[in-house]
DNA sequence: AAATAAATTGAATATACGTTCAATTTATTT
DNA sequence: AAATAAATTGAACGTATATTCAATTTATTT
């Protein structure tokens, strides 16, 4: 009896609007009123689904962090073999596609909150560790089949993501498209060289 | 005639207070009123020296970015030879000292504004390029004297800073002190290995 | 059709914000 | 001591903010 709950889809809609607003005007300028106006609902409705602005931001962070994991899901072919899988993921990481999935600006704003909010800190740390762990598994697969030769897949995965994070930290400031692409390719090469693939005609 | 100008020292005092506030409560919560209260002056005085909050933030960013350059100035001995100089800088970069110089939290908040503010974007880009250029010169010095062997000092300096920025991006999320130190050392080793020092008994 | 429960609205609150402007204080020079 | 110019204050402004609560609308069930 009573009405069917619209909780989940409405919450999603609100988070998405809040995110788009933060992307456009900065997280610090993304307000509940503006968010409500964007999807043509009453500001009170936002408060109904999120107890506070803080919890809305909390949901926004989860929304963003989930998107990061997509690098591992954009694989056309699941059983393409470990080498192809690994290279595909590297491709995804160093592609504009991934970067287009979410706005770095919002993510950096959220990230900066980790310094004062332990829950946010943990969420970011968990994500970064998950990203590393997934890559480590792909590397380990390749290592076990003699496709590449690295000492410790865990360390290699870690270093590669350090490279990735540092790369985008710089690249986000590069306006020139050519410079951007050239640097991105260079960083990608560096990452692949860290993987130390065994050169052979076989795959 | 008239009164002696206190402009510069007052501005510095205000910026510093604003910075400390941003460090403690987050940049988004650092207000002009709070800043004035912190150093016991009238909020109007802040507005007198900075036309707007925006320009105050602009000054804050310059204040922060200047601190980054200190890695190159903490050298006890200027004429210690190129190798020692380079290693000292690497030491500084991968030390807690440097990290203690400024609050990453504030810097990341400011950094995130670069996405919507071209002037801020340029300032950050310029800083990162300056940091790279200084390191490149130290590397080139060493290369010219056969101390190390790298293909292109410019690229090496770039990669090292990519490593540094990526390293701190992860490390800022690490609460455990042991893990922090261990990772930091590992990243430092990686950076040094990129420098490919020529092993010899001579220095 | 009545009952029910969730969705949604609208009005109201208090608060803090950035910014303004005129008035006043303070130090320095003539 | 008078003149000067900068430092500093205090009051006031309108605005947007997050959040509250009661009232109303809407869809679904009995």
* Per-residue pLDDT at A102: 78
Residue range B48-59: mean pLDDT, rounded? 98
Q: DSSP class of residue B200?
A: -
Residue identified by tokens 């300056």 is B130
Q: How far is the CA of A20 from the CAs of A64, A112, A169, B152, in angstroms?
A: 11, 19, 21, 41
Q: Are A34 and A26 in contact (CB under 8 A)?
A: no
d(CA A157, CA A201): 25
- Whether A128 and A170 map to the same domain: the answer is yes
pLDDT value, residue A76: 61
Residue B46 (CA) to nucleotide D10 (C1'), in angstroms, measures 14
Residue A174 lies in a domain: yes
Amino acid B201: pLDDT: 46
What's the rounded Cα separation, in Å, for the pair A54 and B91?
39
Q: Do A166 and B170 touch (CB under 8 A)?
A: no
pLDDT at site A59: 98
Say how many domains are in chain A. 2
Residue B56 lies in a domain: no
Residues in chain A within 8 Å Cβ distance of B28: 27-28
**Would the Cβ of A9 be found within 7 angstroms of any atom in strand D?**
no
Task: State residue B192's pLDDT score.
Answer: 97
Q: Same domain, yes or no, for B36 and B116? A: no
Closest nt to residue B30, judged CA to C1': C17
Structural domain includes residue A201: no
The β-bridge partners of A197 are A148
Q: Which of B194, B157, B55, B159 is nearest to A169 (CA)?
A: B159
CATH for B89: 1.10.357.10
Q: ∠ CA(A96), CA(A97), CA(A99), 5° rounding?
A: 60
Give Cα separations from A95 to A35, A65, A184 (angstroms): 31, 18, 8
**Are A103 and A180 found together in one domain?**
yes
Please indicate, yes or no, if residue B171 is contained in any of the structural domains: yes
Please identify among residues 159-178 of chain A the ones whose CB lies closer than 8 Å to any CB of chain B.
Answer: 159, 161-167, 169-170, 172-175
Distance between CA atoms of B117 and A95, rounded to whole angstroms? 24
pLDDT at A203: 44
Are residues A149 and A104 part of one domain? Answer: yes
A83 shares its domain with A173 = yes
Alpha-carbon distance of A190 to B158, in angstroms, equals: 12
pLDDT of residue B78: 67
Residue B49: C-alpha distances to residues B4, B12, B80 (Å)? 15, 10, 43
- Find, among A142, A179, A174, the residue nearest to A160 by Cα: A142
A74 and A25 part of one domain: no
Residue B194: pLDDT band (50, 70, 90) is very high
d(CA A145, CA B52): 62
A to B CB pairs, distance under 8 Å: 103
The CB density around residue A86, as the number of other CB atoms within 10 Å, is 22
Instruction: Check: CB of residue A124 under 8 Å from CB of residue A66.
Output: no
Per-residue pLDDT of chain A (203 residues; tens, 9 = 90+): 789 999 999 999 999 999 999 999 999 999 999 999 999 999 999 999 999 999 999 999 999 999 999 889 866 666 788 999 999 999 999 998 777 777 899 999 999 999 999 999 999 999 999 999 999 999 999 999 999 999 999 999 999 999 999 999 999 999 999 999 999 999 999 999 999 999 864 44
For the four alpha carbons of A185, A189, A192 and A194, in that order, the dihedral sign comes to negative
Distance from CA(A43) to C1'(C16), angstroms, rounded: 19
Distances in whole angstroms, Cα of residue A15 to Cα of each of A30, B17, B70? 11, 34, 41
pLDDT digits 0-9 by tens, B75-84:
666 678 899 9
Short-list A188, A131, A140, A120, CA closest to B159: A188
8 Å CB contact of B115 and A104: yes
Query: Do B23 and B105 lie in a common domain?
Result: no
**B75 lies in a domain?**
yes
Q: What is the mean pLDDT of residues B184-189?
A: 97
Give how far the C-alpha of residue A121 lies from the chain's centroid of Cα atoms, to the nearest Å: 15
Whether residues A111 and A179 share a domain: the answer is: yes
Residues B80 and B179 grouped into a single domain: yes
In-domain check, residue B32: yes
pLDDT at position B97: 79
Reading the block at residue A67, the tokens are 């998107």
Residues A42 and A89 in one domain: no
CB contact A130 to B (< 8 Å): no
* Distance of residue B1 Cα from the nearest chain A Cα, in angstroms: 45
* Cβ proximity of A159 and B110 under 8 Å: no
- Kindly state whether residue B125 falls inside one of the protein's structural domains: yes
Check A116 against B26: CB less than 8 A apart.
yes
Indicate the pLDDT class of residue B126, thresholds 50, 70 and 90.
very high
Cβ within 8 Å, pair A128-B170: yes
Task: Report the percent of chain B where pLDDT is more than 70.
Answer: 96
pLDDT interval class at B101 (50, 70, 90): confident
Within a domain: B203: no
Residue numbers of the domain that contains A42:
7-50
Region of A5 please: left (phi>0), alpha (psi -120 to 50) or beta: beta
A115 and A148: one domain? Answer: yes
Is strand D less than 7 A from the beta carbon of B52?
no
State residue A201's pLDDT score. 47
**Cβ B173–A121 below 8 Å, yes or no?**
yes
- Dihedral over Cα of B46, B52, B55, B56: its sign: positive
B108: chain A residues, CB-CB within 8 Å: 108, 111-112, 115
């Amino acid at each position: 009896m009573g009405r069917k709950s619209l909780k989940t889809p409405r919450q999603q809609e609100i988070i998405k609007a809040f995110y788009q607003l933060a992307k456009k005007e900065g997280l610090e300028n993304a307000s509940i009123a503006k968010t409500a106006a964007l999807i043509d609902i009453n500001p009170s409705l936002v408060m109904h689904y999120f107890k506070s602005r803080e919890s809305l931001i909390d949901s926004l962070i989860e929304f963003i962090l989930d998107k990061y994991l997509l690098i591992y899901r954009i694989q056309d072919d699941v059983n393409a073999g470990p080498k192809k899988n690994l290279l595909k993921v590297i491709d995804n990481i160093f592609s504009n596609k991934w970067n287009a999935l979410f706005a770095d600006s919002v993510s950096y704003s959220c990230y900066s909150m980790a310094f004062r909010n332990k829950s946010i800190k943990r969420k970011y740390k968990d994500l970064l560790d998950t990203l590393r762990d997934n890559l480590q598994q792909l590397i380990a697969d390749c290592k076990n089949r003699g496709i590449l030769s690295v000492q410790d897949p865990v360390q290699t995965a870690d270093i590669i993501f350090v490279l990735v994070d540092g790369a985008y930290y710089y690249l986000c400031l590069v306006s020139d498209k050519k410079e951007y692409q050239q640097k991105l390719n260079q960083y990608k090469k560096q990452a692949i060289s860290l993987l130390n693939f065994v050169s052979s005609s076989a795959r």
